[in-house]
Chain A
Amino acid sequence: GAVVSQHPSRVICKSGTSVKIECRSLDFQATTMFWYRQFPKQSLMLMATSNEGSKATYEQGVEKDKFLINHASLTLSTLTVTSAHPEDSSFYICSAAGLAGVWSYNEQFFGPGTRLTVL
């Protein structure tokens, strides 16, 4: 149990285009989903937290108009990188938290990540 999927796993786009990344909790209801960004050889940095049906809470320094987050259901959250630029190239990882099997509800289960490359 506690499986989180992301789609796509890898995307290459031209500068100026928008890219949507999906995060799904496959076998549990995720009341909260988190979006992280990870640069090569670095740790995960939280970008935003979203609760189903509410507006996302963005971390300091993260532009909410550039990284649009929608959490329309208990199993799906999307991150849209608008007008992407090369500096947005990174590994984007989502996680989901909710009641899931033997782990406490505090646990975050991570998706496999999406590698975004902006040319």
Chain B
Amino acid sequence: GQQLNQSPQSMFIQEGEDVSMNCTSSSIFNTWLWYKQDPGEGPVLLIALYKAGELTSNGRLTAQFGITRKDSFLNISASIPSDVGIYFCAGQYSGRSQGNLIFGKGTKLSVKP
């Protein structure tokens, strides 16, 4: 099945640094979602985006829905050790009210104290 192009694949950063990751697609989505997954756990929803151009924050996290509706980015400011985990973007196609999510391959974030 189709997957989103998510980058970078992994990041090693120092505590306190800012982080940026993004997802791109050849298809248009009407919803973009960002999840975090800890080892051995299910994904937890961080931010949901519904409109092109939308910029939404959740604490130190900020995500934007690209104008073209084919991309999204997630920023984490002032990273802390508990930010460690795998971050997934997910897109949902137009016309589906509770439709399928297409997931990116994930960005593994490691934070050095």
- Is A70 at the interface (CB under 8 A from chain B)? no
Asked if B88 and A44 make an inter-chain contact with CB atoms under 8 angstroms apart, the answer reads yes
A to B CB contacts below 8 Å, 7 in the list: A43-B106, A45-B1, A46-B100, A49-B100, A105-B97, A106-B31, A107-B33
How many chain B residues touch A (CB < 8 A): the figure is 23
Q: Pick the residue among B41, B48, B100, B105 that contacts A103 (CB under 8 A).
A: B48
**How far apart are the CA atoms of A62 and B94 in the complex, in Å?**
24
How many chain A residues touch B (CB < 8 A): the figure is 30
Asked if A104 and B48 make an inter-chain contact with CB atoms under 8 angstroms apart, the answer reads yes
**How far apart are the CA atoms of A114 and B100 in the complex, in Å?**
21
**How far apart are the CA atoms of A64 and B64 in the complex, in Å?**
37
With known contacts A43-B3, A43-B88, A45-B1, A110–B42 Cβ distance under 8 A? yes
